[in-house]
Amino acid sequence: MADKRVTRSSSVPMLELDLKYEPEYRGEVKQHWNVTFAHQKKISVYSKRILARVIDQIRDNDYQLREFYQIHVSSILEGTDIEIDTAYSKIKGALYELADVKWEFESIDRSEWYFRHLLDTTKERRVGYKDGIITILLNPQLAPYLVKAAHYSKFPLHGYMNLKSWYSMRFFEILSAFQDKGFWEVPVEEYRQYMDCWYEYDKRGQVKKDKDGNPLLKYPKTKLLIDYTMKEPLKELAGTDYEFTFTPIYEVTRAVKGRKKIIRLRFDLKKGPALKDIPESWLQHTETGSIVQRLREWKVTDRNIVQYAPILKQAGVLELLRAWELKNRSNRHIDDKLRYCNAAFVRAGKQALEDAKQAKIDAKHEAAEAKLIVQQALNL
């Protein structure tokens, strides 16, 4: 059968998507609360991963969005069994989805509503994929929600990129915003919207209705809603910082006979509220107390100590302190302790997280190989 695709003119380049810079990641996504708690449309995990890798490249000292962002396809396929050579269809499908994504904004009194497209496809540079490189152009009108956002939530990419369910990703994002509180409680109606289980809409944005004129609702029964949206997150987030328990909250009184309705949902983080201050037990302990004091002398903030010292452990922290002391004795003196030492401490902590994650993956592979060897031996 003849190829019916239109042959493009050799004078008009189809794509100019070669790698123009080497992406640098900080390991976390920081986004405006309005984005985290937007009524997001359910999309593939590959689309979510691409967007996370893009936002991860936005720096605290950026004043505007880059003209374009680029990502290695390998960073999107991490944790999957998909080979880079066969990833084309997955990435193409994800870019189709992202091109259709709109962020909706509505005032509390519902007197004002508008939307913005996520991607900008109007520029000469294209959104697309070429030779393992994904190029993304964000809509510059979304800059206030991504750059220098005044009210934001943030979550680490460690653990997030390996999730296989959109619902798990949404729980990860939302629960990270409630780490300081330790729980999230939400009315069922709002939960539906956060999980894209609200009314079904047609192409004109109008609510679909059944033959009797009643609005069509995704998973209309609350039990179905709970089963379909929580099954995967409960499993995938087990053992992470966002592992949670679920409690349904029922109406107090009911005007008519029958079972009481579930009106709210409560999710409690098993690890409880994240530490903000250094625990008194750390300060009173002979060894950890002296280490905390030394870190403070090097201007490492209490917030960073609380967050990364448990990950680095005593040996890792002492190694950093020795390195700083040696550097200070050399001709490369540390002039700005606050900036230099905090950056080094955070960088080391994030690397320790990545190393721990890789060690866990390696252990799983070794266990699988050992199991296969045993099975082969038994089949001899």
Task: Give the pair of three-digit tokens for residue 240.
Answer: 């992470």
Write out pLDDT tens, residues 257-314: 778 889 999 999 988 766 667 877 788 888 888 999 999 999 999 888 988 888 888 8
CATH of residue 127's domain is 1.10.10.10
Instruction: State the burial class of residue 14 (Cβ atoms within 10 Å of its Cβ: 0-12, 13-18, 19+).
Output: exposed
Q: Is residue 29 located within the same domain as residue 134?
A: yes
Contacts of 369 (CB under 8 A, 6+ apart): none
What pLDDT does residue 16 have?
58
| SS3 at position 116 | strand
The residue segments making up the domain with residue 249 are: 163-274
pLDDT of residue 275: 65
pLDDT reading at 232 higher than 70: yes
Number of domains in the chain: 3
- From 226, 243, 274, give the residue that closes a domain: 274
What pLDDT score was predicted for residue 17?
61
Q: Which of 188, 192, 156 is nearest to 175 (CA)?
A: 156
380/375 Cα distance (integer angstroms): 9
Q: What is the spatial order of strands in the sheet that 133-136 belongs to? A: 69-72, 133-136, 128-130
pLDDT tens per residue across span 333-373:
888 999 999 999 999 988 888 887 777 776 767 777 777 76
Please indicate, yes or no, whether residues 261 and 336 belong to a single structural domain of this protein. no
In a domain, 1, yes or no: no
Q: Is 27 inside any structural domain?
A: yes
Strand duo 133-136 + 183-187: pairing: unpaired
> For 2-14, what is the mean pLDDT?
47
One domain for residues 145 and 180: no
| pLDDT above 50: residue 73 | yes
Q: Do both 291 and 259 map to the same domain?
A: no
With tokens 């997150």, the residue in question is: 233
